[in-house]
Amino acid sequence: MRMYDIILKKREGLNLSREEIRFFIDNYVKGNIPDYQASAFLMAAFIKGLNDSEMTELTIAMADSGEKINLSGVNGVIADKHSTGGVADTTTFIVAPIVAACGIKMAKMSGRGLGHTGGTIDKIESIPGLNTSLSMEEFISQLNEIGLVVMGQTLSICPADKKLYALRDVTATVENIPLIASSVMSKKIASGASTIVLDVKTGNGALMKSYQDSLQLAEKMVRIGDQAGRRVSALITDMSQPLGQAVGNSLEVKEVIEILKNNREGDLKELSIMLAAEIIKTAGLTECYDNALELANESLIKGNALKKFEEMISAQKGDPTIIDHPDAINKSAIQYDLCSDDNGYISEFDTYSIGIASVELGAGRKIKEDTIDPSAGIWMHKRIGDKVGKGETICTLYTNDENKLRNALEKLEGFMKIVEKPCNKPKLVYSRVTEGQVTSF
């Protein structure tokens, strides 16, 4: 078998066999196939497409390319959650404690931020002392003991995906739905959870800008999971504005703590409860979604989720006193209020620009080697549909560098639209996707 023939076959729009896909992945990871041939394959797949069978075989081959987490030593049902990425999205730190407090084990292996979306590991590491570099023995022990772990992805999981994603990033082959679906699901399958719930974002701050593209991605990921023997469902959710008020690592942790304490309402809390209920139902704890919502709400209201979050912080050597004193962590030296130039109603935010501005402030990375400033970020005071007056604060910027502040303000030029008449708030959740079924909300 030759890689040349596989590239030619896909270039001509023909379907690849399981053996051909396996040959490509296995030999690319071993270094027997050069990047220029892998790039040619990716471009052929991007242009000609992959059918469902090819997409599933590619996913399984990538999942099998490295270590697969064996969770057979963990008692009970094990669940995982994945978001396709957004701004001010800290649902993991609310959903996971809620679900764990209901008796379902939450095993989260997460990544760092690069681009306009924040990284789960960067956010949780803004808690002083917290360790996300756990051994598999520590990961499984903590999962059994408290039912909740958030750790960094190991280098040995899905090496094929890591190599291919780096290549896609520089060959203009990222925005392809089958390739995105395979990339996401290969890591989820290799991570070992039996229940997977996907939060597929749609809107100007999401990877998928249109609802139809988000729906197609959700359907393909659910289909892959089903064929791999996992229980999978997805919610398609809004990213036309930041999900929470906080954009930036320690700011987002502070907002999470306030929600877990039941001191804050809003879209972030509402969506977190819905995602938690989706996991509870998909995992089989109850067959009724309304009952699942009740269990999730009860976990939050009674303080069980907050207690579980505190247990996780302590187990991973973080400072649990932040629960009582969240404002004490990572304060920035510079605060700047960005105000409205007009009277009216906010009809639109450029969510991508908000995310990029937070990176400029120091909350994210432009390149992998950049250092994160945990205190940097943006606090959004207004949302779409809100009435504003001229001179009223729209958001507050936090940083420790005047030059970074100037750069961020440049990125926020024209980042919102104000209209004269009242306008509708965007829908938070558009639909639920399960195998063979789409349900609108």
Domain shared by 113 and 218, yes or no: yes
| Number of domains comprising the chain | 3
**Spatial contact of 370 and 333, defined as CB atoms under 8 Å apart:** no
Ranges in the chain, pLDDT < 70:
114, 155
CA–CA distance, 77 with 73 (Å, rounded to integer): 12
Domain shared by 313 and 343, yes or no: no
**pTM check: above 0.85:** yes
Confidence (pLDDT) at 16: 97
CA–CA distance, 254 with 261 (Å, rounded to integer): 11
Say if 105 falls within a structural domain. Answer: yes
Residue 71 sits at φ, ψ, to 5 deg, of: -105, 20
CATH at 389:
3.90.1170.30
Domain shared by 104 and 246, yes or no: yes
Domain shared by 145 and 193, yes or no: yes
Say if 66 falls within a structural domain. Answer: no
Say if 11 falls within a structural domain. Answer: yes
Say if 61 falls within a structural domain. Answer: no
Domain shared by 200 and 275, yes or no: yes
CA–CA distance, 314 with 135 (Å, rounded to integer): 17
Strand residue runs (E) in 203-319? 231-238, 246-247
Confidence (pLDDT) at 28: 97
Domain shared by 149 and 218, yes or no: yes
Domain range for residue 33?
3-49
CATH at 197:
3.40.1030.10
**Spatial contact of 312 and 148, defined as CB atoms under 8 Å apart:** yes
Say if 96 falls within a structural domain. Answer: yes
Domain shared by 231 and 355, yes or no: no
**Spatial contact of 58 and 21, defined as CB atoms under 8 Å apart:** yes
Say if 59 falls within a structural domain. Answer: no
CA–CA distance, 393 with 173 (Å, rounded to integer): 40
Q: What is the pLDDT of residues 91-138, one digit of tens each?
A: 999 999 999 999 999 998 887 776 788 788 999 999 999 999 999 899
The candidate with the shortest Cα–Cα distance to 130, out of 371, 383, 314, 332, is: 314
Domain shared by 105 and 214, yes or no: yes
Instruction: Name 274's Cβ contacts closer than 8 Å, sequence gap at least 6.
Output: 235, 293, 429
Domain shared by 295 and 388, yes or no: no
Annotated catalytic residues are 82, 161, 168, 183, 187
Say if 363 falls within a structural domain. Answer: yes
Say if 60 falls within a structural domain. Answer: no
Domain shared by 83 and 45, yes or no: no
**Spatial contact of 378 and 396, defined as CB atoms under 8 Å apart:** yes
Confidence (pLDDT) at 291: 97
Domain shared by 156 and 17, yes or no: no
Domain shared by 103 and 229, yes or no: yes
